[in-house]
Amino acid sequence: MALTDEAIDKIKQMILSGRVRPGEKLPREADLAAELGLSRNSLREAVKALSLINVLDVRQGDGTYATSLAPSLLLEALSFIVDFHRDDTVLEFLEVRRILEPSATGLAALRMTDEDKAELGKILDSVSVNSPVEDFVATDLEFHRRIAQGSGNSVLASLVDNMSLPTARARVWRGMTEPRALERTMNEHRAIHKAITSKDADLAASWAMVHIAGIEEWLRTALAD
């Protein structure tokens, strides 16, 4: 197990065991590192990773807290019980995305406001095939998040959002290793946006299916190779 993964697991166990309860402040960095037998660098990386998925709340000048796990955050705690670093688990996330996102995209085509559709276009315009892969994937995540929100169903939006994050690393990998992956992604995003703008729910859902299935197919092939 990588050092950062070990650190993440130890912090998760602290919260799951009740050592630190939701909403409570974690011990200061030096004390926590000593208690868990971790280096401070590994601890920092673990805290950063867990803050990205809203398990921890880092408050500058105050400290780090376990989140309250309010209803809006409960689905994000799925990352507690799923080891999303395993490639086979990433495939399972992609399978779920392939089930959920076409429905969310079809609803977004019918429910998004004109203003939200325009903002979606601006997100696409903020990167190009020459952008750093990390920036491209960050924009990719935001694009899918906005569409999920545009579905008008908060539960569906939370599910889509939390199925998307654990696949981000695979998408970075794809962008760095597959020829023309970024160009293909941009073209598919444009097609999805055009269908949403045209209020064509069936076409929007179809393009979303093609888009997610393409990522899934690539990862299956890459793992087989």
**Model confidence pLDDT, tens digit, residues 57-72:** 888 888 898 876 544 4
Domain boundary among 18, 38, 71: 71
Considering the entire predicted model, what is its pTM?
Answer: 0.63
Q: What is the CATH number of the domain that holds 220?
A: 1.20.120.530
pLDDT in tens, 65-105: 887 654 444 444 444 444 444 556 788 888 999 999 999 99
> Domain ends where: 43, 71, 99?
71
Choose the final residue of a domain: 22, 50, 71.
Answer: 71
Asked whether residue 174 falls in the same domain as residue 100, the answer is: yes
Range of the domain at 183: 82-224
Q: Are residues 32 and 143 in the same domain?
A: no
> Are residues 111 and 52 located together in one domain of the fold?
no
Tell me the CATH number at 19: 1.10.10.10
57-84: buried (b, 16+ CB within 10 Å) or exposed (e) per residue?
beeeeeebbbbebeeebebbbbbeeeeb
107 and 165, same domain (yes or no): yes
Least confident range from 72-76, 119-123, 153-157, 187-191: namely: 72-76
100, 193: one domain: yes
The per-residue pLDDT for 74 is: 41
